[in-house]
Every structure is written in C-alpha cells, then in structure tokens.
Structure 1
Amino acid sequence: MPLAVLIPVSLVMLFSPGSTVPSGPPHSDKLVHAGLFAALAIAAVVAGAGWRSTAAVLLVYAAVSEVLQGVLPIHRNGDLRDVLADTVGIACGIVLTLVVRRFRVFLGK
C-alpha cells in the first residue's frame, strides 16, 4: 500500500511545472530527492521486491526523470546532482530495510 501511494506522489513531485515547485535553502532539494527515493526503496523492499531489482528500477527511474525534466515543457532542468541524491537515498533506504530485517531476525521476531 505505501508503494501505491508513493509512486503517484513521486510523479507529482518530479514532474510538476517548475513554477509550482517551492523553493528552500540552497541544495535543500537534494534532501527531498534523497528522502523520496529512500522512501520508495523502503516501500518496494517491504512490498517484496528484491533489493537488487529495487535498486536497478529506481536508478533507472531517477535517471529517466531527470532527462524528462530537461526535455518536457514543464520549465524544469535535469540535474546530475539530483540523480546522485536519488542514488544516496536508494542506498540508504535499502540498507536501512536490510538492517532492520536482520535485527528483527536476531531478536526472533
């Protein structure tokens, strides 16, 4: 269920016209990117997707979304640094999920 909510949320966040995107402190958008992709990774792995396939699909999604932001008439720019932030988020989400699973097994839950 969380993944079913997060996918449309990510589409809105990534493809809303530039004029509707709120601004914040410099580079704060990188935290938003990392957080969004961490949440997507966690939701996908919890939903049963393998961590490798989750990483692969989300990396492609991150790259394609930045290319589309640069070519669609939505007044957004593709940014390699956003893809890097997405990648950090994906890695953090997957690692966090795997650590929590391992800890739960260790506790016998």
Structure 2
Amino acid sequence: MSLNPARLPRPLRLAAFAVAVAVLLWLCLAPMDTLPQPQNLGDKAEHAIAWFVLTALGVILSPRRWRGVALFALALGAGIEVLQGGLGFGRQADWRDLLADGLGIGAALLVLVPVRRRLDPA
C-alpha cells in the first residue's frame, strides 16, 4: 500500500497547499532584512524554483485540477508583483519576476501533467 497524496481528504490537501502559499507570500512580501540570506541562485532562478514547487505540490495534491492550480499560481505571482510595487519594504515590482514564475509553473506542468493519471488514476 502506497501513500497517494491525491487520496488524502480534501480539507487536508487544501491546508497543505495553503501553508505553501503562506510561506511563499512571506518570502515575497516580508521586509528584506527579515528574510534568510539568499544562496546566490539569482532572483529569477529563486522565483522559478518557488513557483515550480508550488505548482508541483498543487498538481500532486489535486491532479485533476492542474489547470486551476496553474492559473492560481500565475495569478498569485501577478498579485505579489503588484503588492511588492506598492508596499515598499525594499521590494519592487518586476515583470521579469512574473516571467520567471511562469517558467517555473510551465516546467512543473511539463513534468507532472503527463504522469498525473498515475497520481490519481480514479
């Protein structure tokens, strides 16, 4: 018997995804001086990796809703850029960050959508 995350109760799956979104929001909106020091990956690579992980988690938890997960992730990225432009805290909006987010989302879909039936064969 294997653990299939897509078979977990929906409220538990939504809670896990909400935690991931909350962490991402904190990383993207918190004042720069309160964040962990970057690992020199580059801002755009960090965006792509973060949105890859968020999208992959969403698709793993809800394989049938992969389109909705991708649209939500992209909308989240756009919303964060708008907030970064208006909140200050040493942040600034950058359309290239949104492009990097989109690349991360696309990469996650390329990896996971072909195997989504194995994730939830029902």
TM-score by length of 1: 0.80
Q: Which of the numbers 36, 42, 48 marks the counterpart of 1:34? A: 48
Give runs of aligned pairs for residues 2-41 of structure 1, distance below 5 A.
2-21=16-35, 22-23=37-38, 25=40, 28-41=42-55
How far 1:3 sits from its partner (Å)?
2.3
Please report how far the alpha carbon of residue 24 of structure 1 lies from its aligned counterpart in structure 2 after TM superposition: 5.6
Q: Distance in 2 between matches of 1:8 and 1:31?
A: 20
How far apart, in 2, do the equivalents of 1:38 and 1:75 lie? 25
**Correspondence 1:48-87 to 2 at 5 A:** 48=62, 50-87=65-102
Point out the more displaced range, 1-10 or 55-64.
1-10
CA distance, structure 2, for counterparts of residue 24 and residue 35 of structure 1: 13
Cα distance in 2 for residues equivalent to 1:36 and 1:23: 13
* CA distances 1:5-24 after superposition (whole Å, capped 9, x unpaired): 32221011111112334356
- Structure 1 unmatched ranges of 5 or more: none
Which stretches of structure 1, 4 residues or more, deviate above 4 A after TM superposition?
none
Q: Which structure 2 residue ranges, 5 or more long, are not aligned?
A: 1-12
Deviations 1:32-58 (A, max 9, x none): 110110011011111115221111111
TM-score when scaled to structure 2?
0.72
User: How many residues are matched?
Assistant: 104
- Residue identity (%): 35
CA RMSD in angstroms, aligned pairs only: 2.2
